[in-house]
A and B are shown apart, each in its own frame.
Chain A
Amino acid sequence: MAESTVPTATAEPKTTACAGGACGTERFISPAVDIFEGAKGLNLVADVPGLDKESIADSVENDLLTIKGAARQGIERDYLHREFQPVGYFRQFKLGNRIDRAGINAEYKSGVLHLTLPFAEAAKPRQIAVKVA
């Protein structure tokens, strides 16, 4: 599964993300992911702490898997020390032909997004009877 980031043209300009998440009105960072392969398919685990379940919008379009989460609305406080900002997450991967698009499943628990990408049923060889004229 190769990583690829493409500019996307979406209807809402506010959520448009482009390469690296540098442009657009919202800020995005690339979440750390683990991708490992089992017999049944691929597992993709991404660290996206601070997101609400509702703000995650993952999609598959033109062989492109997009992991995207809108920035959470943090309570503005009087900070003494700051190491992170409430930012959104954005990352894209190119899916191979082996992945069954319809069977992709996502689970979110305590800041970790777990996607299961099952392999499609292997195309079975078809017997072709040869007619003798």
Chain B
Amino acid sequence: MLRIFAPRQDFAAFRREIDRSLESFLRPAGARGDFLPARNPREYPLVNVAEDADNVYIEALAPGLDAEKLQITVLRNQVTIAGEKVPASTDFKAESYHRSERAAGRFTRTFQLPSETDEAKVAAEYRNGVLTITLPKSEGAKPRQIAVNVA
């Protein structure tokens, strides 16, 4: 893909990078997110955001959810994912745990998308612990081809 220097986006990305690295620096040891995604207390679920000409895709790494209880709300260019990861079992006492690394509980995360979406056509799929949301861009946000008339 042809990469053109886009100062605003590039600086925004750079700033995010610095924020993220500072956050990891200030976070207590053992709470680093990339290595054990479920342990990250600040950002859950972890997401990848991709884009093509027609859609924006959000992939979220969220194992062990009940797909029916997931709440995805879209308003213009803002998407919110909310849900609850239930603990593996509630029948066992704390002392019967040898290891407890998988965090559980309610989460919510909001994203600002680069373009406005067509709320009615948003589709979400939950498969193997990965939530994929396909957000079609609204007509106004799509690039328009303009034919040049030759006089």
| Chain A residues within CB distance 8 Å of chain B | 1, 29-30, 32-38, 42-43, 45-53, 72, 77-84, 110-112, 114
Q: Which residues of A contact B103 (CB under 8 A)?
A: 32
Contacts of A34 in B (CB 8 A): 87-88, 97, 99-102
Please indicate which of the listed interface residues B91, B96, B99 has the most CB atoms of chain A within 10 Å of its own CB. Answer: B99
A33–B57 Cα gap in the complex (Å)?
29
Measured CA separation A2–B52 after assembly (Å): 46
Assuming the contacts A84-B46, A110-B65, asked whether A36 and B36 have C-beta atoms less than 8 A apart, the reply is no
In the complex, what residues of A have CB within 8 A of residue B35's CB?
29-30
Q: How many residues of B contact A (CB 8 A)?
A: 43
Asked if A37 and B98 make an inter-chain contact with CB atoms under 8 angstroms apart, the answer reads: yes
**B81-114 with Cβ < 8 A to chain A:** 87-89, 91-92, 96-103, 114
Known: A30-B35, A47-B129, A49-B63. A81 touches B49 (CB 8 A): yes
B19-39 interface code vs A (CB 8 A; 1 in, 0 out):
000000000000000111111
3 residue pairs, one from A and one from B, having the closest CB atoms? A111-B129, A49-B129, A111-B63
- Assess whether A43 is in contact with B129, with CB atoms less than 8 Å apart: no
Q: What residues of A have a CB within 8 angstroms of the CB of B72 in the complex? A: none
26 pairs of residues in contact across A and B, judged by CB atoms under 8 Å: A30-B35, A32-B39, A33-B101, A33-B102, A34-B102, A36-B92, A36-B96, A36-B100, A37-B96, A37-B97, A45-B89, A48-B63, A49-B61, A50-B128, A50-B129, A81-B48, A82-B48, A82-B49, A84-B48, A84-B61, A110-B64, A110-B127, A112-B63, A112-B88, A112-B129, A114-B88
B→A interface (CB under 8 Å): 1, 16, 34-39, 43, 46-52, 56-57, 61-65, 67, 87-89, 91-92, 96-103, 114, 126-130
Residue among B43, B49, B52, B56 with the most chain A CB within 10 A? B49
Cα of A77 to Cα of B36 in the assembled complex, Å: 24
Identity of the chain B residue whose Cβ is nearest the Cβ of A37 in the assembled complex: B96
- Contact A83 B129, beta carbon cutoff 8 Å: no
Min C-beta distance of A131 to chain B, whole Å: 46
